[in-house]
């Protein structure tokens, strides 16, 4: 089962509207992605909480359709 | 004992517990293997629990932490993160700091 990178981005942005999402298809097979999600709304949250927000946005795809999504979250710099 | 009670007992009875696919000697998933390598590098004793041995454990741990993937690392009963977070913390020296703050000994050469 594979997921399109644009679908992943759309799901994340619909749940976290201020998110800057960058997705790389690591193996070119539509199944191994690396995502970087930068959002001001992550401020004050732990890494675990930030990742949980992204996983929630993916509505159960993580661990299912998406086996391999390497995730990195951050808060925008310069504030 | 429910699976939740079992998990709760496990994470509270060892200082460092890793829920993983496979065993520390034979990881059966690259993500689990990465965390094993980091813990071994740091020289921290830990208990590995193989979720592939039990479908109940595999589902139960995801519900326990509200975290959809394996591996999952617990220190002193607290969920620290999965593979990405552990690697990021290790590279930043934060994992070493956390372990020391929790009173655990990290191998000298592995300190940031």
Domain ranges of chain A: 5-74
B107, pLDDT greater than 80: yes
Q: Do A48 and B68 touch (CB under 8 A)?
A: no
Q: What percent of chain B stands above pLDDT 90?
A: 94
pLDDT tens string B20-66: 999 999 999 999 999 999 999 999 999 999 999 999 999 999 999 99
Length of chain A: 79
SS3 for B13-75 is: HCCEEEEECECCCCECCHHHHHHHHHHHHHCCCCEEEEHHHCHHHHHHHHHHHCCCCCCEEEE
Closest residue on chain B to A64 (Cα):
B68
Comparing CA positions, the residue from B40, B42, B62 lying closest to residue B51 is B62
User: A with B: how many residue pairs have Cβ under 8 Å apart?
Assistant: 30
Q: What is the mean pLDDT of residues B5-15?
A: 97
pLDDT given for residue B109 in this prediction: 67
Pairing of β B72-75 and β A20-25: unpaired
pLDDT band at A66 (very low <50, low <70, confident <90, very high): confident
B110, pLDDT greater than 70: no
Q: Give the CATH number of domain B3-110; options: 3.40.50.1820, 3.20.10.10, 3.40.30.10, 3.40.50.10380.
A: 3.40.30.10
Q: Which single residue is written with the structure tokens 């990881």?
A: B27
pLDDT tens string B73-97: 999 999 999 999 999 999 999 999 9
What CATH fold (topology level) applies to the domain A5-74?
A: GMP Synthetase; Chain A, domain 3 (3.30.300)
Report the distance separating Cα A55 and Cα B1, nearest Å. Answer: 29
Domain ranges of chain B: 3-110
Q: Do B81 and A62 touch (CB under 8 A)?
A: no
Select from A48, A53, A69 the residue whose CB has the most chain B CBs within 10 Å, as the one to mutate to test that interface. Answer: A48
pLDDT given for residue B12 in this prediction: 97
Q: Are B70 and B19 within 8 A, CB to CB? A: yes
Other beta carbons less than 10 A from residue B5's beta carbon: 10
The residues near A49 (Cβ < 8 Å, ≥ 6 apart) are none
pLDDT given for residue A60 in this prediction: 78
Its pTM stands at 0.88
ipTM higher than the 0.95 cut: no
Structure-block tokens of residue A77: 């710099």
């Amino acid at each position: 089962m594979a997921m399109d990178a644009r679908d992943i981005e759309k799901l994340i942005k619909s749940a976290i509207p201020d998110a800057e999402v960058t997705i790389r298809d690591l193996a070119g097979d539509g199944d191994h992605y690396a995502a970087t999600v930068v959002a001001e709304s992550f401020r004050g949250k732990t890494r675990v909480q930030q990742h949980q927000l992204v996983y929630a946005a993916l509505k159960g795809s993580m661990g299912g359709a998406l086996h391999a999504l390497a995730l990195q979250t951050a808060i925008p710099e310069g504030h | 004992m429910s699976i939740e009670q079992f998990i709760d007992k496990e994470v509270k009875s060892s200082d460092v517990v890793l829920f993983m696919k496979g065993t520390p000697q034979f990881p059966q998933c690259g993500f689990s293997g990465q965390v094993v390598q980091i813990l071994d590098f740091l020289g921290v004793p830990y208990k590995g629990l193989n979720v592939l041995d039990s479908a109940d454990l595999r589902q139960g741990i995801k519900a326990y932490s509200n975290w959809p993937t394996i591996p999952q690392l617990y220190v002193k009963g607290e969920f620290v993160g999965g593979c990405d977070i552990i690697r990021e913390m290790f590279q930043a020296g934060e994992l070493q700091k956390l372990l020391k703050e929790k009173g655990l000994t990290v191998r000298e050469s592995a300190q940031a």
